[in-house]
Amino acid sequence: MDEFIKQTEQKDKGEGFFELETPRMLEVNLDGLVWAKAGSMVAYHGKIKFDREGILEHGLGTAFKKALTGEGASLMKANGRGKLYLADEGKKIIILNLQNDSIYVNGNDLLAFEPGIKWKIKLMRRIAGMMAGGLFNVHCEGTGMIAITTHYEPLTLRVSPGQPVITDPNATVAWSGNLQPEFQTDISLKTFFGRGSGESIQMRFEGDGFVVVQPYEEVKRVEKG
């Protein structure tokens, strides 16, 4: 037992506001406010209050988009002082430090972000009728930390002028904020896999930036109620 406790106990690493306690557990050294994915809290100590995001807290447009997509990217606010531990289904966690940058993150893969980060929801309307629940992303910009999650090890692909990158929407985690993906249907794949195949729908990235993919096809979940 002593050896197990020694190997697994919490250790302060002095990394700042966000700290990877393990590759799949995020420690938030909270002294104020943090936004986090609803349901991601696994433990905390200190005095912390949790509030689910208000339906109109970020404007009617955001509330409408969330209702329209029906997808599970609800957020909660954790406010107070202490140590907060977040996780999401054992997925690997990556901390990104934005310096006046912007990035799009799949709505299901955004774990937490500092309150100074500006964010808005973007619905991929052209694909909404092709996939169950559509495809819904969060645009984050500004200066501060965000934490995203991936199933297994992520791969970042560079997008260069004249060298587009095509991805499976269900395996696409994030991309640089200056890129605007287009959607295309591969008729040959559609015929090969069948009419309901997700592989027949692809995201095409052109320009100068990057896209992050994971070795897993994440089926978008639809919230009930």
**Higher-scoring residue by pLDDT: 4, 133:** 4
Residue 138: both structure tokens together: 């969060």
Instruction: Record the pTM.
Output: 0.82
Contacts of residue 201, Cβ cutoff 8 Å, sequence gap at least 6: 127, 130, 131, 169, 183, 184, 185, 186
Q: Check whether 91 has a pLDDT greater than 80.
A: yes
Instruction: Give CA–CA dist 32/164, Å, rounded.
Output: 42
pLDDT of residue 199: 53
pLDDT of residue 68: 40
Note the residue count of the chain: 225
CATH class assigned to 15-213: alpha beta
User: How does residue 192 score in pLDDT terms, banded at 50, 70 and 90?
Assistant: low
**Higher-scoring residue by pLDDT: 199, 157:** 157
Cβ(91)–Cβ(24) below 8 Å:
yes
**Residue 83 CB neighbour total at 10 angstroms:** 17
**DSSP code at position 17:** S
H/E segment holding residue 191? helix 187-193
Of all residues in the chain, the percent with pLDDT exceeding 90 is 56
pLDDT of residue 162: 94
Residue 34: both structure tokens together: 């943090």
pLDDT of residue 73: 56
- Say what the alpha-carbon torsion angle 189, 195, 198, 200 is, to the nearest 10 degrees: 30
Q: Residue 2 phi/psi, 5° resolution?
A: -60, -40
Radius of gyration over every alpha carbon of the chain, rounded to an integer in angstroms: 18
H/E segment holding residue 192? helix 187-193
